[in-house]
Structure 1
Amino acid sequence: MQHVKGTLIPIGGNEDKGFEDDEIHRLDYIEEGILAHVVEEAGGIDAKIIVIPTASSIPIEVGENYLTAFATLGCKNVTVLDIRTQADSEKADFIQHIKTADCIMFSGGDQSKISKYIGGSTIHTVLLERYKNDAGFVIAGTSAGAMMMAEEMVSGGSAAKAFLKGAVKMRKGLALIPELIIDTHFIQRGRFGRISEAVAKFPSLIGFGLAEDTGMIIKNGNSCTVIGSGMVIVFDGKNLTHNNEKVLELGTPMTMTNLTVHVLSNGDQYDINKRQVTVLPIEAPFI
């Protein structure tokens, strides 16, 4: 999406305990450093911030977690919109909140819920219009809330079956930044194969694999800067000379040659249009 004025901040998640099945034990906590970047981009502690925990199976608890986290940073104007149905995405007061917010923060959970309950709604339309036209408007999201920013959205798939066709499941996201495919918890869950297959399916798109406690500030739909303590792995398939994804049967090992991969860390920059990396000098301060 060209010539957009808003800012996207996809974040790789930062789970509290690891891999427990019960979501209450694996909330997508975000370190204060990452949230501080979100608040700064939104205009500071007086910004109107809307938290949308639609992806979560425990939205009340997640919403309260964010209220506490933002309050810790000094934010005074934070509201949770508990959107659980398509009808909720058409409520006049909810739409008004989206129209007047400085920042929208999507929680982690199941990204398919965001597509199901918000995709194609009036709220979705307002988000796209404001992201395109409003300078300073921020849409941030962690884990599921980051993955849904793509048009071709990773919706699931097994890391254990990495590099086999069928390791990734895709569906349509909210298409805030159609040039990207975004995956999260990337290092911790070994999702290299999953995003490799996604890029093999859509070789014109760029894959971003975000580690936990790591994000990207994406300005104007193009200029990306890494924030946080981990890495962003960039997968660029534009120079693939062999890609057999289309002819393979499910469960078959894949072949991809000349897949370009970049490993970026704090302060490094990436230009989506030029597919170009700018690495921060080693002596530069940590941001």
Structure 2
Amino acid sequence: MSDSSANGVLIPIGGNEDKGYDLEDVYALDFIEEGILQHVVKQAGGKNSKIVIIPAASSIPKEVAVNYRDAFTKLGCTNVHLLKIRERADSEKEKSIDLVKTADALMFSGGDQSKIVAKMGGSTIHKIMMDRYQKEHFVIAGTSAGAMCMSQEMITGGNNTDSFRKGTVFMDKGMGFIPSLIIDSHFIRRGRFGRLTEAVAKYPELVGVGLAEDTGLIIRNDTEFQVIGSGMAIVFDARTSTHNNQRILEEGTPMTLTDLKTHILSNGDRFEIKTRKIKVLPMNAEFV
């Protein structure tokens, strides 16, 4: 995956949904505050833009699709479509390819990020997504799992409550839309400090971003992101850490990471990915 500047826009969102693993799946629907979705619509080009919902990560894709379609309809959108990717072969179908080729924005739902990669990673529609994202003003949005899959180095799971020990985070290759970041979701509510810390200890050249619920990023050109929504974005920069013993420890051993640079950003704040510089929203500015 290329790390060169892209012309598209990524909108990863911290989510506010269950993963749909329990018995009451019917109640485990994706939901994002309308304010966040409004950013997706705006970046896509407005209410007449073609928005394609991809609930491939969810165990209840039909219910999730209806939920998102209703949400976008409330925002005045009339050109909303569903991309059904139930198995990998669906990523090679002509109908799927046509939807991705003609969409203004894609919206990945929450669920299990590994399902997204397994069903689409390296497929024809994935290649089209990457090509359009690199060359066009093409919007790729996603919540929870749909946000986490955007990374090249993707968190697939981990023990949220364990102490900072090696091996408590599990990682694999993601969709690679933004190679310079590692994204985690539901960051505050589910206490995911330890697993994102281990992720950046393992890949100190990358920036870790933990998104609270009802919080997202607008990433432009792979170079800068702006925080949107009502919650916090926690940024971890381990590049200049003075002690990181991740590589020499055995699995299960307590880790040490010193001088981990941490930023707590909120609505309107900006972060330059390559330079690691921050532009804080002035106190008298209006919220975005």
TM-score range for the pair, normalised by the shorter chain length: over 0.9
Which structure 1 segments of 5+ residues have no match?
none
What is the alpha-carbon distance in structure 2 between the residues aligned to residue 17 and residue 106 of structure 1?
A: 13
Q: Give the alignment's TM-score, normalised by structure 1.
A: 0.97
Contact 2:19/2:112 (CA < 8 Å) preserved in 1? no
User: Which residue of 2 is the match for residue 169 of structure 1?
Assistant: 170
Contact 1:162/1:194 (CA < 8 Å) preserved in 2? no
Pick from 20, 31, 34 the counterpart of residue 33 of structure 2: 31
User: Which residue of 2 is the match for residue 56 of structure 1?
Assistant: 58
* CA-CA distance at 1:68 after TM superposition: 0.4
Q: CA 1:25/1:201 → structure 2, altered by over 3 Å: closer, same or farther?
A: same
**Structure 2: which amino acid aligns with 1:64?**
V
Q: Deviations over 1:179-201 (max 9, x none)?
A: 00000000001101100000011
What is the alpha-carbon distance in structure 2 between the residues aligned to residue 100 and residue 17 of structure 1?
A: 29
User: Which residue of 2 is the match for residue 218 of structure 1?
Assistant: 219
**What's the secondary structure of 2:159's corresponding residue?**
coil
Q: CA 1:2/1:224 → structure 2, altered by over 3 Å: closer, same or farther?
A: same
* CA-CA distance at 1:23 after TM superposition: 3.7
Q: CA 1:89/1:188 → structure 2, altered by over 3 Å: closer, same or farther?
A: same
Instruction: Determine whether 1:112 maps to 2:114.
Output: yes
User: Which residue of 2 is the match for residue 273 of structure 1?
Assistant: 274
Contact 2:36/2:215 (CA < 8 Å) preserved in 1? yes
Q: CA 1:191/1:16 → structure 2, altered by over 3 Å: closer, same or farther?
A: closer
What is the alpha-carbon distance in structure 1 between the residues aligned to residue 38 and residue 22 of structure 2?
A: 27
Contact 2:227/2:268 (CA < 8 Å) preserved in 1? yes
Q: Give the alignment's TM-score, normalised by structure 2.
A: 0.96
Which structure 2 segments of 5+ residues have no match?
none
Aligned length: 286
User: Which residue of 2 is the match for residue 285 of structure 1?
Assistant: 286
What is the alpha-carbon distance in structure 2 between the residues aligned to residue 26 and residue 261 of structure 1?
A: 32
Q: CA 1:220/1:248 → structure 2, altered by over 3 Å: closer, same or farther?
A: same
What is the alpha-carbon distance in structure 1 between the residues aligned to residue 173 and residue 218 of structure 2?
A: 22
What is the alpha-carbon distance in structure 2 between the residues aligned to residue 175 and residue 268 of structure 1?
A: 24
Q: Deviations over 1:21-51 (max 9, x none)?
A: 6443332200000000100000000000000
Contact 1:42/1:102 (CA < 8 Å) preserved in 2? yes
Q: Give runs of aligned pairs for residues 138-287 of structure 1, distance below 5 A.
A: 138-287=139-288
Moved more, 101-110 or 26-35: 26-35
Contact 2:21/2:59 (CA < 8 Å) preserved in 1? no
CA RMSD of aligned residues (A): 1.5
**What's the secondary structure of 1:33's corresponding residue?**
helix
Q: Deviations over 1:212-245 (max 9, x none)?
A: 0000000011111100000000001110111111
**What's the secondary structure of 1:28's corresponding residue?**
coil
Q: CA 1:19/1:126 → structure 2, altered by over 3 Å: closer, same or farther?
A: closer
**What's the secondary structure of 2:71's corresponding residue?**
helix
What is the alpha-carbon distance in structure 1 between the residues aligned to residue 272 and residue 100 of structure 2?
A: 29
Q: Deviations over 1:251-279 (max 9, x none)?
A: 21110011110000000000001111111
**Deviant stretches of 4+, over 4 Å:** 16-21
* CA-CA distance at 1:19 after TM superposition: 10
> Percent of counterpart pairs with the same letter?
59
Pick from 45, 48, 52 the counterpart of residue 46 of structure 1: 48
Contact 1:162/1:192 (CA < 8 Å) preserved in 2? no
What is the alpha-carbon distance in structure 1 between the residues aligned to residue 6 and residue 20 of structure 2?
A: 36
* CA-CA distance at 1:143 after TM superposition: 0.1
User: Which residue of 2 is the match for residue 65 of structure 1?
Assistant: 67
**Structure 2: which amino acid aligns with 1:110?**
D
User: Which residue of 2 is the match for residue 130 of structure 1?
Assistant: 132
**Structure 1: which amino acid aligns with 2:231?**
G
* CA-CA distance at 1:17 after TM superposition: 11
What is the alpha-carbon distance in structure 1 between the residues aligned to residue 55 and residue 248 of structure 2?
A: 39
